[in-house]
Amino acid sequence: MSEKACQRAHVLAQQLLTFAKGGATIKKIASLAPLLQEAATLTLAGSPVRCEISVPDNLWSVAVDVAQINQVISNLLINAEQAMPAVGTIRISAENLDVGEEYACLPLMKGKYVKLAIADEGVGIPPKYLDKIFDPYFTTKQKGSGLGLAVAYAIIKNNAGYITVDSTVGLGSSFYIFLPATETGSSSEDWEKETVRLGEGRILVMDDEEIVREVLGKMLVRLGYEVEFAQDGAEAVASYAEAKDAGRPFAAVILDLTIPGGMGGKEAIQNLLRIDPEVKAVVSSGYSDDQAMADFRKYGFRQVIPKPYKIAELSKILGEAIQKNN
Considering the domain architecture, whether residues 18 and 58 belong to the same structural domain is answered as: yes
Here the CATH number for the domain that contains residue 186 is 3.30.565.10
- Residues near 101 by Cβ (< 8 Å), separated by ≥ 6? 110
Last residue of a domain, one of 123, 156, 191: 191
The span from the CA of 67 to the CA of 307, in Å, is: 8
The span from the CA of 42 to the CA of 84, in Å, is: 18
The span from the CA of 302 to the CA of 281, in Å, is: 5
The span from the CA of 74 to the CA of 66, in Å, is: 12
Considering the domain architecture, whether residues 155 and 251 belong to the same structural domain is answered as: no
- Residue 207 has φ and ψ, to the nearest 5°, of -155, 140
| 326 residues of the chain, pLDDT tens digit each | 344 444 444 444 444 454 444 444 567 888 898 889 888 888 887 788 899 999 998 999 998 888 788 888 988 998 898 888 778 899 999 999 988 877 777 788 888 999 999 999 988 888 888 888 887 655 555 344 444 688 888 888 888 899 999 999 989 999 999 999 986 544 444 444 456 788 999 999 999 888 788 888 988 998 999 999 999 999 999 999 999 999 999 999 999 998 888 999 999 999 999 999 999 999 998 766 678 888 899 999 999 998 778 788 899 899 999 985 54
Considering the domain architecture, whether residues 279 and 144 belong to the same structural domain is answered as: no
For the entire predicted model, the pTM comes to 0.58
216, with CB counted inside 10 A (0-12, 13-18, 19+), is buried
Last residue of a domain, one of 134, 162, 191: 191
Considering the domain architecture, whether residues 102 and 33 belong to the same structural domain is answered as: yes
Considering the domain architecture, whether residues 77 and 140 belong to the same structural domain is answered as: yes
Q: Could you give the count of Cα atoms lying within 13 Å of 257 in the half-sphere of its Cβ?
A: 23
The span from the CA of 39 to the CA of 121, in Å, is: 19
Number of domains the chain is built from: 2
Considering the domain architecture, whether residues 13 and 156 belong to the same structural domain is answered as: yes
Last residue of a domain, one of 165, 191, 217: 191
First to last CA, the chain: 41
Considering the domain architecture, whether residues 217 and 318 belong to the same structural domain is answered as: yes
Q: How far is CA 52 from CA 55, 79, 220, in A?
A: 10, 16, 23
Considering the domain architecture, whether residues 296 and 161 belong to the same structural domain is answered as: no
**Domain hosting residue 307, numbered range:** 194-322
Considering the domain architecture, whether residues 215 and 182 belong to the same structural domain is answered as: no
Considering the domain architecture, whether residues 215 and 260 belong to the same structural domain is answered as: yes
Considering the domain architecture, whether residues 148 and 263 belong to the same structural domain is answered as: no
Considering the domain architecture, whether residues 37 and 155 belong to the same structural domain is answered as: yes
Here the CATH number for the domain that contains residue 281 is 3.40.50.2300
Taking a C-beta distance cutoff of 8 angstroms, is the pair 311, 74 a contact? no
